[in-house]
Structure 1
Amino acid sequence: MAKDRVLLIAEACNPEWFSVPLVGWAHASALRELADYDVTVATQIRNREAILRAGWVEGEDFVSIDSERVAAPAYKVATLLRGGANKGWTTVTAVQSLTYNYFERLIWSKYKQELRSGRYQLVHRLTPLSPTSPSYLASKLHSIDVPFIIGPLNGGVPWPTQFSGVRRKEKEWLSYIRSMHTLMPGYHRTRRSARALIIGSKDTWHQMPEAYQSKCVYIPENGIDLARFSKTRTRQATLPLELVFVGRLVPYKGADMLIEAAQNLIRNGQARVTIIGSGPEYETLQQLSLKLGCAEGVRLLGSIEHQAVQDHLIQADLMVFPSIREFGGAVALEAMAVGLVPMVVRYGGIGELVSDETGFLIEMGSRDEIVASLRQNLEHVVADPSLIEQKAVAAKDRVQHWFTWDAKARQVSQVYDWVLGRLNQKPHWGMPFGNNQDHAKASRGGDHD
């Protein structure tokens, strides 16, 4: 029996890059392994050479779409407008959303005859992840009755009002008017024409107009490649407690709050901090640790190879990542995958990946309140390091059950099955995953909040 064919659109899909391109690659690779579906990936030409080096065959496994005529100058414009490296991400996303339309027009031009003839039973737009990018293909596919799925869509986590100064330092000027994207041509047409919308976070879900929520399915964007994170933390938590931070050194990631919260423990020889990552805050963090008199217990390693990150994770006791605005938060999954317990702020996407059983969740508040809560939690763990080991096994189990790319592909395949009529009910695993209240609500036939 022939498999149903899926045209998978992944504009960002690159095994050698990070962030969204790596998510696109890992997710697309897992979807191509589905038993019931034959998946062809359409991606932007900038990814071609890396994909070929990974062993895919052009014309069979993937096709590259050359939209550089528009994409290249758009990238230059975004670079000029963003206000510096690692800043102004809302501006970058806005420019990309305005130019992405051309990429989909080229796909339609290339595939319209095959789509009209029924060669593909389904089209799934995997990336871009941003909800602000309308789809040119949505209405075209609706007119020829080819099911169209978008997602996971993730973005729009509100800036915490307590951190308006950080917002300005990040050059997030456009974030003040981000909601204007709902007025863009194609916003409602895209959602109206899609058969299913995969939503990557609760914030994105709640921003979806109620008229479209019946076709929404919650699946977080991030997953974990167990081949990349194959080692397991074997150490037992002991003093001095080994704390590790992994991420870009920019204001909203909160590495400074970690140093400030842990300073007394560091000076007393009860904790040490390792910070992995680079960015404009590097020297600021150095100066802060000197000012607080705890520099001897703070190591700033700078950037390291992604493959080497797990070697540092398995030597730590806690991954402390007090970022105040994370869409995805893959670093928490990487930590849990090797059995390292995370301590994160319960806000944005990362607060949905970590549960109270698998980590320590800090409530959102002012900077002083977060620092105080971090300090209190760290002191609590120092007083009883066995608290870490109680959560470590559950952390690893949570990742392996819900967040491997294979698990994610199986989740998405159920969305395919639902759209194609193989499942009578929309798939639902709780929001966040494993949320018992959501499961109970689903069993009663209720809708999401």
Structure 2
Amino acid sequence: MSTGKRLRVLAIAEAANPEWVSVPLVGWSLATALRDVADVHIVTQVRNREAFLRAGLREGADFTAIDSESFARPMWKLAELLRMGDGKGWTMVQAINALSYPHFERLVWKQFGTNIQGGAYDIVHRITPLSPTISSSLAGKCARANVPFVLGPLNGGVPWPQGFEAERRAEKEWLSYIRSAYKLLPGRGATLRHASAILAGSRHTAKEVSAGVADKVIYLPENGIDPARFNRAAAPGGPLRGAFVGRLVPYKGPDMLIEAAMPLLQSGQLKLEIIGDGPMMSALLEQAKGLEGVSFHGWKPHDEVQDILASCHLLTFPSIREFGGGVVLEAMALGVVPLVVDYAGPGELVGPSVGLKVRCGTRAEITRDFAAALTALADDPSGLPAMSQAARDRVQSHFLWSQKARQIAQVYDWVLAGRSTPKPDFFGMSEP
């Protein structure tokens, strides 16, 4: 229902920070991109305030920082204690966040409830948290005020594949065994019923939340690309070169990659660039001992990651549990062809024209299939240039943050039209 007048949007992004990565960067990128298609006021947590100011946003005019630290900080410390290791126990962190986040929304309503009820906003859009396990009291309050409430993108809860119990235990994911119990928590059903539109960041999440509300669930992967951050074009030379980018942990499979690549590394037909750090580093160094074709770079800032990636033909990424797969999009944006496991986020982002996928089987099967794919490419790399260009084109047409903002603007129009027009379908619910 576009009338030419810019919509007034209250964007709730508790986690949003341009100087961090993962969820906060998604929250920041999407919330600020929406400012190009609507008059957006961003509501975030006070811990992000200084980064917003450094980025040039004006407090009070462009954003409001809500101070929920009196409750959020001790809960975060509890989550850090219970997760039993840096970067581990993600399900536990989300469970604790589900307990602390409602306080943030109560403070948001206290400050903005009167304006919402008075019609100051056309849309209220909760961007983060991304987890589908965290309900929203704002959904019902907005519904009673007759203001559409958009939820998402939501993503998470991808099951651990069979045969990877050791990796699951290594990540301290004890709570994941009973994760589905969140569906019984008070408020979840009401949140979904009262939302005017629900953006699902993965097809798995779309199916998980769609019971009874499928008519308002829209598949929209949450990750996007900022051309200012990833603006190079891959120009690899010499023998086939692959890159792994991520934490060096068992479920991301860097050891499977090295094992699969071993014959090609030994023959000089392949080189690997390993970007990242983590608890597997020493074991991987031992595994690659004597192999001249493997380089370990450790953690690198975004600009240096881009430089290394752009020297490669392939993103060789055998991770078996990625919700969003942001690194896959980053590689595609550079024209680096992804070789991934056909499961969860990476499997949804990589279609046959832009990359290669192997079936998600056992560790032995994934290693075998990665070895076969790498051998085939080393023997005949002639198909890579076309896939490289198709990958770049795919990002430009669907995954720039500016494009995602325009997609969400279409969702806003659909909602404001009373969902009387066909539901937006940007990617389809089949193959990407």
Give the structure-1-normalised TM-score.
Answer: 0.93
Matched with 1:430 is 427
Residues 373-393 of structure 1: CA deviation (Å, up to 9, x unaligned) = 000000000000112112111
Matched with 2:19 is 16
- Tell me: CA distance 1:326–1:432, structure 2 relative to 1, closer, same or farther (3 Å): farther
Matched with 1:441 is none
Matched, 1:263 2:266: no
Match for residue 411 of structure 1 among 407, 412, 432: 407
Matches of 1:13 and 1:362 in 2, distance apart? Answer: 34
Query: In structure 2, what residue type is equivalent to 1:301?
Result: H
Matched with 2:142 is 141
Query: In structure 2, what residue type is equivalent to 1:274?
Result: E
Matched, 1:196 2:193: no
> Is the 1:81–1:91 Cα contact (8 Å) retained in structure 2?
yes
Matched with 1:381 is 377
Matches of 1:229 and 1:429 in 2, distance apart? Answer: 23
Matches of 2:333 and 2:44 in 1, distance apart? Answer: 29
Query: In structure 1, what residue type is equivalent to 2:218?
Result: V
Residues 282-325 of structure 1: CA deviation (Å, up to 9, x unaligned) = 111111112xx53x221111001112111011111111011000
Matched, 1:253 2:249: no
The secondary structure found in structure 2 opposite 1:158 is coil
Residues 388-430 of structure 1: CA deviation (Å, up to 9, x unaligned) = 1121110110011110001100111010000001872210123
> Is the 1:352–1:432 Cα contact (8 Å) retained in structure 2?
no
Matches of 2:427 and 2:297 in 1, distance apart? Answer: 38
Shift of 1:207: 1.0
The secondary structure found in structure 1 opposite 2:36 is coil
Matched with 2:6 is 3
Q: Percent identity?
A: 51
> Is the 2:13–2:44 Cα contact (8 Å) retained in structure 1?
yes
The secondary structure found in structure 1 opposite 2:30 is helix
Residues 146-194 of structure 1: CA deviation (Å, up to 9, x unaligned) = 1101000000101001111110111000000000000111010100111
Query: In structure 2, what residue type is equivalent to 1:43?
Result: T
Matched with 2:225 is 224
The secondary structure found in structure 2 opposite 1:232 is coil
Query: In structure 1, what residue type is equivalent to 2:347?
Result: G
Matched, 1:343 2:346: no
Matched, 1:365 2:361: yes
Matches of 1:225 and 1:352 in 2, distance apart? Answer: 20
Shift of 1:29: 1.1
Query: In structure 1, what residue type is equivalent to 2:285?
Result: Q
Matched with 1:65 is 66
TM superposition outliers: structure 1 runs of 4+ over 6 Å: none
Q: Which moved more, 1:2-11 or 1:422-431?
A: 422-431
Shift of 1:77: 0.3
Query: In structure 2, what residue type is equivalent to 1:62?
Result: F
Matched with 1:242 is 241
**Aligned positions of 1:49-128 closer than 5 A:** 49-128=50-129
Shift of 1:83: 1.2
Shift of 1:106: 0.3
Shift of 1:431: 3.1
> Is the 1:202–1:431 Cα contact (8 Å) retained in structure 2?
no
Matched with 1:131 is 132
Matches of 1:111 and 1:127 in 2, distance apart? Answer: 17
Matches of 2:192 and 2:178 in 1, distance apart? Answer: 21
Q: CA RMSD in A?
A: 1.3
> Is the 1:242–1:318 Cα contact (8 Å) retained in structure 2?
yes
Shift of 1:3: 2.7
Matches of 1:315 and 1:288 in 2, distance apart? Answer: 24
Shift of 1:209: 4.0
Shift of 1:210: 2.2
> Is the 1:44–1:66 Cα contact (8 Å) retained in structure 2?
yes
Matched with 2:298 is 302
The secondary structure found in structure 2 opposite 1:257 is helix
The secondary structure found in structure 2 opposite 1:365 is coil
The secondary structure found in structure 2 opposite 1:32 is helix
Residues 1-32 of structure 1: CA deviation (Å, up to 9, x unaligned) = 75321100000110000000011111111101
Matched with 1:446 is none
Matches of 1:297 and 1:396 in 2, distance apart? Answer: 27
Query: In structure 2, what residue type is equivalent to 1:431?
Result: G
The secondary structure found in structure 2 opposite 1:211 is coil
Matches of 2:214 and 2:429 in 1, distance apart? Answer: 16
Matched, 1:180 2:166: no
> Is the 2:235–2:312 Cα contact (8 Å) retained in structure 1?
no
The secondary structure found in structure 2 opposite 1:9 is strand
Matched with 1:439 is none
Query: In structure 2, what residue type is equivalent to 1:424?
Result: T
Matched with 2:277 is 278
Matches of 1:161 and 1:149 in 2, distance apart? Answer: 35
Matches of 1:379 and 1:105 in 2, distance apart? Answer: 56
> Is the 2:407–2:426 Cα contact (8 Å) retained in structure 1?
no
Matched with 2:206 is 205
Matches of 2:132 and 2:255 in 1, distance apart? Answer: 31
Matched with 2:168 is 167
Q: Identify unmatched segments of 5+ residues in structure 2.
A: none
Matched, 1:355 2:356: no
> Is the 1:275–1:301 Cα contact (8 Å) retained in structure 2?
yes
